[in-house]
């Protein structure tokens, strides 16, 4: 039973990160019908910038807590600028192109960003240590540390904030209107380009926060870290129903749990034949299963709304 609770906790922590990244995928898809495959790379850049900022701030003798908060803010700002630029440079010129063109551009953008990060930060793993100790707490037989509690709490607050923004503000209404019917929205005076820019910037801000979280949790950053994380978050978005915000959150947490429980028990189930390093298999098994049995996802209703 201890393993069970421990895996639930691990799953919730990892799922919170997936959920934040999945929201970025799903928001862009909802508005443009585009899978932004460069989104995982934005998470990686967020982590890299946060690490660089944190080291610089600590070297400049900032108080540890202040340095952590400031580096997070710097990463968020950098990623918002990056997200805005990606859309302007890579996607806007292809707005009216066939759907395959922006998809290929997205993959290209992803490769460009990875290589850029490799040139700036090198191919080696960097350790990402927070400048304070993270105390562990025993809950039943399971352990959860301060960083993990922080990740779940911050993710919950941000997701609640995003839902409020989308459903109860002028900006959010404009986003939903564009997602539902771009032609009608523009005739109501909504500037579609502006809404798209805001969407990319919001998604990228969430990606930066997720990048910080995942780095703080594992204590490591690497130029390739965005690839697998991005793919899994995309899987989470598809699982929940791509284009649906609640679906992205639900899909993220579920995927985290499935992966974590799967990794925890795969050894027992296969009699030791397969070990926990097969955990990535579960995410993609889920992706295949969803695409075969429920392609619209758990909360998605309308498939092929955009032809």
Partner 1 sequence: MTQASDRLLDLNSVGKHFGGVIALADVSLHIRQSEIYGLIGPNGAGKTTLFNVVTGLYQLDSGSFQFAGQSYTRCKPHLLAQAGIARTFQNIRLFANMSALENIMVGRHLRTRTGIWGALTRNAAARAEERATVQRARELLEYVGITCAHQTLAKHLSYGEQRRLEIARALATEPKLLALDEPAAGMNATETVALKALLQKIRASGVTVLLIEHDVKLIMGLCDRVAVLDYGKKIAEGVPEEVRRDPAVIAAYLGGETTTSNLSPLPQAGEG
Q: Interface residues with partner 1 (CB under 8 A)?
A: 165, 168-174, 176-177, 180-181, 183-192, 198
Q: Are 245 and 23 in contact (CB under 8 A)?
A: yes
193 or 276: CB nearest partner 1: 193
**Minimal distance in Å, beta carbon 173 to partner 1?**
5
95 or 137: CB nearest partner 1: 95
Residue 195 tokens, joined: 């809404």
Per-residue burial over 117-143, b = 16 or more CB atoms within 10 Å of its CB, e = otherwise: beeebeeeebebbbeeeeeeeeeeebe
**CA contacts within 13 A on the Cβ side of 154:** 20
2 or 301: CB nearest partner 1: 301
The sign of the CA dihedral 84, 88, 91, 96 is positive
Q: Are 57 and 247 in contact (CB under 8 A)?
A: no
Q: Is 136 helix (H, G, I), strand (E, B) or coil?
A: strand
57 or 162: CB nearest partner 1: 162
Q: What is the CA radius of gyration of the chain?
A: 19
In this structure, the number of other CB atoms found within 10 A of the CB of residue 11 comes to 23
226 or 300: CB nearest partner 1: 300
State the Cα–Cα distance between residues 205 and 137, nearest whole angstrom.
30
Expressed in angstroms, the distance from the first to the final Cα of the chain is 48
For residue 237, which of 3, 9, 18, 14 has the smallest C-alpha distance? 18
**Minimal distance in Å, beta carbon 30 to partner 1?**
11
**Minimal distance in Å, beta carbon 194 to partner 1?**
9
**Minimal distance in Å, beta carbon 33 to partner 1?**
16
**Minimal distance in Å, beta carbon 191 to partner 1?**
5
The H or E element spanning position 142 is strand 142-145
**Minimal distance in Å, beta carbon 198 to partner 1?**
7
State the Cα–Cα distance between residues 35 and 212, nearest whole angstrom.
23
168 or 277: CB nearest partner 1: 168
156 or 165: CB nearest partner 1: 165
176 or 294: CB nearest partner 1: 176
**Minimal distance in Å, beta carbon 72 to partner 1?**
16
């Amino acid at each position: 039973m201890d393993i069970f609770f421990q895996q639930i906790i691990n799953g919730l922590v990892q799922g919170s990160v997936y959920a934040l990244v999945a929201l970025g995928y799903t928001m862009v898809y909802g508005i443009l019908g585009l899978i932004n495959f460069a989104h995982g790379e934005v998470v990686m850049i967020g982590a890299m910038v946060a690490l660089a900022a944190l080291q610089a701030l600590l070297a400049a003798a900032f108080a540890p807590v202040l340095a952590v908060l400031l580096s997070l803010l710097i990463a968020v700002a950098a990623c918002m600028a990056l997200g805005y630029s990606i859309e302007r440079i890579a996607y806007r010129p292809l707005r009216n192109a066939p759907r395959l063109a922006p998809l290929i551009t997205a993959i290209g953008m992803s490769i460009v960003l990875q290589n850029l990060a490799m040139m700036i930060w090198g191919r080696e793993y960097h350790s990402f240590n927070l400048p304070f100790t993270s105390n562990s707490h025993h809950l039943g037989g399971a352990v959860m540390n301060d960083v993990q509690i922080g990740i779940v709490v911050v993710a919950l607050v941000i997701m609640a904030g995003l839902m409020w923004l989308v459903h109860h503000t002028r900006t959010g209404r404009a986003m939903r209107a564009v997602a539902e019917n771009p032609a009608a929205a523009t005739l109501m005076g909504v500037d579609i380009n502006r809404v798209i820019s805001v969407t990319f910037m919001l998604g990228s801000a969430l990606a930066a926060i997720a990048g910080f979280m995942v780095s703080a949790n594992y204590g490591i950053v690497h130029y390739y870290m965005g690839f697998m994380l991005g793919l899994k978050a995309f899987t989470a978005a598809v699982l929940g129903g791509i284009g649906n915000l609640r679906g992205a959150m639900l899909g993220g947490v579920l995927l985290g749990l499935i992966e974590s429980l799967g990794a925890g028990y795969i050894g027992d189930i296969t009699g030791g034949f397969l070990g926990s390093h097969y955990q990535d298999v579960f995410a993609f098994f889920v992706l295949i299963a969803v695409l075969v049995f429920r392609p619209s996802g758990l909360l998605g209703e309308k498939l092929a709304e955009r032809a």
